[in-house]
Amino acid sequence: MDAHRLPKGLGWLSVGLGITELTFAKGICRLLGLRGHAGLVRALGARELVTGIGLLSQPERRPWLLGRVAGDAIDLSVLGATLNRSTTAASAWRFAATVAVLGITLIDVYAASAPRLRRISNPGKGDVREGPMESWRGSGLAEDVGADASGTSAEWDEAKRHQMMQDAQSRLGLPDPESLTPRS
């Protein structure tokens, strides 16, 4: 998934979960066999909502992704503490909720550990886009991945040099600098 879309998707997931936990706290407690803990569910919902809004509105997403991971740890702790309760119908729901939170936790950890994307502002429009701070071309990376470095760049013909740069870009998994355009 696109490194820009995953945090946004997780932000919307957080907003949806937060609103659900705030709105239906008593029903969630009844379903999971946690009667009397609606305040805890609402607190968890408020945390989800704040994290989701942060992911959707802030250009620096890493702290919010780490907040999701920490929130997942709290959710798993609460669910883990309730797994040994005896109500059979609620046990299945608690187990399913725990598995779902574990899956989301893996996605959150993946998103939070993705390579850091830096902010680039467009002074003309004042908007922000994400991507590398500068082009990797001309930085010597092509030579580092096996391009012929015996001659100087002035001796190479431009078509060969361009092809070598594209090959290195592809092997390194780097974005094409020409395709990184500011969002409008």
Per the domain annotation, does 184 fall within a domain? no
Number of domains observed in the structure of the chain:
2
Task: Read off the pLDDT of residues 16-41 as tens digits, 9 standing for 90 and up.
Answer: 999 999 999 999 888 887 888 899 99
In the three-class reduction of DSSP (H, G, I as helix; E, B as strand; rest coil), residue 28 is classed as helix
Shortest CA distance to 180 belongs to which of 116, 136, 123, 126? 136
- Tell whether 60 and 89 lie within a shared domain: yes
| Sequence-ordered alpha helix ranges (H) in the chain | 5-23, 25-32, 38-57, 62-82, 88-113, 141-144, 158-172
Query: What confidence tier does 43 reach under pLDDT thresholds 50, 70, 90?
Result: very high
Q: Which residue range(s) make up the domain with 85?
A: 5-113
Give the model confidence (pLDDT) of 68-92 as tens digits: 999 999 999 888 887 776 666 677 8
pLDDT digits (tens, 9 = 90+) for 134-152: 444 555 555 555 555 454 5
- Asked whether residue 127 is domain-assigned, the answer is no
Distance (Å, whole) CA 133 – CA 130 = 9
The reply to whether the predicted model has a pTM over 0.75 is no
Classify residue 123: in a domain, yes or no.
no
The average pLDDT across 5-13 equals 91
Q: What is the pLDDT of residue 46?
A: 95
